[in-house]
Chain A
């Protein structure tokens, strides 16, 4: 259980633990439900920082119409 929130486990091997790219839609969509809502920290098991990076990346992708706001 101690390793459950380990950054290495959560990190995207392409971008590393301290970055989430808004163009990496495969990675982002892993952390969205079918409606496009971001999973909670409880579900993603991300650190505060990484959850914030995820939020930022998803919002950037939504702005560019890469991801839906709803639906």
Chain B
């Protein structure tokens, strides 16, 4: 048994149906082949760099699992057959990074909510993704009390994140995966 880092790109349609179930697609396949899932957490939801099976966006699930070397082949086969997993990447890992455990456990709390993924045809954000919305939000907050039209003027890239921020609460413990403590200390400094 050795430790693997496995990243999955999940179909947003499956994520909309419920995060616990969506997570279960990947972890279910892993556990079916005797792998022990240490951590599993939502890494990000983002626009794909290129469309995969017609999808423009996807949700990334990052897991650390312990599995036998001979289980990887069958796992890969099942993942290829699973249509809701758009892409996957399984790498050997030296240890579970610090903090990964906490992030994974936080997902199992009742108050953890997954934001509803934006629609595929959501307008593309402005060229620079990260700094732009923050700056816009800051400007908006400053200007809003003074003049109302500043908010209207804000470009479409603002609608990207906060617009559909309603999320459904997660089922308390629908996951059977229990993240155990890492056997090895993370070596990354």
Query: What is the interface of chain A, defined by CB distance below 8 A to chain B?
Result: 14-16, 19, 22-23, 36, 60, 62-69, 71
Contact = CB atoms under 8 A, between A and B. Distances in A.
Contacts of B43: 23
Contact of B49 (A14, A16, A22, A65): A65
Contacts of B46: 66
Contacts of A23: 7, 43, 62
Contact of A62 (B7, B49, B62): B49
B106 interface: no
A43 to B, nearest CB: 22
Interface in B133-151: none
A62 B50 CA distance: 9
Secondary structure of the B contact surface, majority rule: strand
Nearest to A22: B89
Contact of B188 (A19, A63, A67): A19
B189 interface: yes
Contacts of B52: 65
A59 to B, nearest CB: 10
A15 B52 CA distance: 30
Contacts, number: 36
Per CB-CB distance, the 8 closest pairs between chain A and chain B, nearest first, are A65-B48, A68-B49, A65-B49, A64-B87, A67-B49, A16-B189, A64-B89, A68-B50
Interface string B80-95: 0000001101010000
Contacts of B49: 36, 62, 65-69
Contacts of A15: 188
Contacts of B189: 16
Nearest to A66: B49
25 contacts: A14-B188, A15-B188, A16-B188, A16-B189, A22-B89, A23-B7, A23-B43, A36-B49, A60-B89, A60-B91, A63-B87, A63-B89, A64-B60, A64-B87, A65-B9, A65-B48, A65-B49, A65-B50, A65-B52, A65-B58, A66-B46, A66-B49, A67-B49, A69-B49, A71-B50
A13 B49 CA distance: 26
A18 B46 CA distance: 28
A65 B188 contact: no
A69 B87 contact: no
Contacts of A63: 87, 89
Interface in B37-60: 43, 46, 48-50, 52, 58, 60
Given A60-B91, A68-B50, 5 more contacts: A19-B188, A64-B9, A64-B87, A68-B49, A69-B49
